[in-house]
Structure 1
Amino acid sequence: MNNIVAEKITVAPVERKDGTYALRLCLKHGQLTAGMMKTVLDTMAEFGLTSLRATTGQRMNLEGISRENLDGVIAALGASVEKAPLTTSVCSGAGICKYGMQESYGMADKLLEVVKANGPYPFKVKSGVSGCKMGCGLSFIRDIGMVGGPKGWEVHFGSSARKDAGLGVMLGSKLTEEEALGVAAKALTFYKENGRNRERTSGMLRRLGTEAVLEAVK
């Protein structure tokens, strides 16, 4: 790795119950470049860190950092932010995966912009984009999810992977990219206007019923 140039990484500190810290690497689409990996490995070696853990949100957590070493580890990696930026879970899509029906990375960027533009919301909104119905972008268990098919996109809303886990409602199928993003925007606006404080989309969907959401996105 001597020819690889180290790249700085933005991280978000997370305090653990035992008094140690994790640093959440703020990654785009879960991707680490060789330069970023060099920075992480060099930092782990310098501070004697042993655990780098993948998260369900397609980020990486550098674990087991003592309070006294926290500032030094952050400086070695790059810079810190109070909270990791919002992301979208995404699979590799048609551009890479042999099963992919639609290109997923571009859609993930556009869906994330829709999520940001229509907030703030009563509670957190998680999103996912999958290039086919295998759902590797976790689209079927997100607040808003896009699933690619041979004739366009499906839009799913109000799903949950929490204690009351369950599928939400499909708002449309065989949609163009523009149509799918438009439906997502309408559903998120409905959630913004009708969700209760700290109520996820799944809770609102159970409370108001699927017909209310389907009517809102017509």
Structure 2
Amino acid sequence: MSDQSAPKGAFIQRDKETYAIVPRTPVGVVTPELLENIASVAKKYEIPIIKITSGQRIALVGMKPEIVESVWEELGTDIGPAVGKCFHYVQACPGTAVCKNGILDSLGLGMRLEQLLVGAELPAKGKIGVSGCGLCCAESFVRDFGVFAKRTGWTFIIGGNSGRNARIGDVIAEDFTDDQVVELTNKCVEYYRANAKPNERTARFVQRIGIEEIKKAVLE
């Protein structure tokens, strides 16, 4: 079965016969009720693998195509984008919610960005990291867009990539408030959409355009 005939919200696995899905779990936060529901559905449909992904999400893997729709219905969650040219997820650390090192509310800002951007179309896939302190536990420097907290505010990063051709992102703004981060993210996304080549991730985009040119476009 080809990807073109894949059930909604599912993507083909290595065996070319079974599929995986990723329920949407904004900024990696889950509830007991959600976990209980996932466990119940996995048992009922004998889903062989439940995997925590690198993006703080839960993947249900190894489903025959005919059960995918029923699984989604019983899970009752939105689809967490895992393939395609869009924002896939926002990765966020605990920040000031619980972490002793937290300086700013990374979960709160991450949730705002999640609600605003996840699933939004892009020239290529995109990921966001929001870290509540300079330790950058949400891997902000190797995400397409990232921020980390200092006592003076958020530092904004663009053009990171953790893949085979890895790249540390460029800092384009510092000492920003939550609202300023959201506004700048929107500007960067629009500039990227308007000027990127098809399938060009932000890391290669920044290398091609140049960080100073991007700063001029989004900060003035």
Q: TM-score range by the shorter chain?
A: 0.7 to 0.9
Structure 1 residues 126 and 150: CA distance shift in structure 2, 3 A = same
Q: Secondary structure at the match of 2:190?
A: helix
> Which residue in the other structure is 2:62 paired with?
64
Question: Based on CA coordinates, which of the two structures has the bigger radius of gyration?
Answer: 1
Note if contact 1:22-1:63 (Cα within 8 Å) is conserved in structure 2.
yes
Match of 1:13 among 1, 10, 14: 10
Deviates more, 1:122-131 or 1:74-83: 74-83
1:117-164 Cα offsets, whole Å, 9 max, x none, are 9x6432222111110111122211111111111111100011111222
Note if contact 1:91-1:137 (Cα within 8 Å) is conserved in structure 2.
yes
> Which residue in the other structure is 1:108 paired with?
110
> Which residue in the other structure is 2:26 paired with?
28
Structure 1 residues 204 and 30: CA distance shift in structure 2, 3 A = same
Note if contact 1:114-1:184 (Cα within 8 Å) is conserved in structure 2.
no
> Which residue in the other structure is 2:163 paired with?
162
1:40-91 Cα offsets, whole Å, 9 max, x none, are 2222222333421011222101122233444443444336759568431111
- Is it true that 1:87 corresponds to 2:85 in the alignment? no
CA distance in 2, matches of 1:62, 1:33: 17
Q: Secondary structure at the match of 1:147?
A: strand
Q: Secondary structure at the match of 1:29?
A: helix
CA distance in 1, matches of 2:201, 2:27: 23
> Which residue in the other structure is 2:46 paired with?
48
Shift of 1:105: 1.6
Q: Which runs of 5+ in 2 are unaligned?
A: 1-7
Q: Secondary structure at the match of 2:28?
A: coil
Aligned-pair RMSD on alpha carbons? 2.6
TM-score for both structures, normalised by structure 1: 0.82
Q: Which runs of 5+ in 1 are unaligned?
A: 1-10
Note if contact 1:13-1:80 (Cα within 8 Å) is conserved in structure 2.
no
Note if contact 1:172-1:180 (Cα within 8 Å) is conserved in structure 2.
no
Deviates more, 1:76-85 or 1:66-75: 76-85
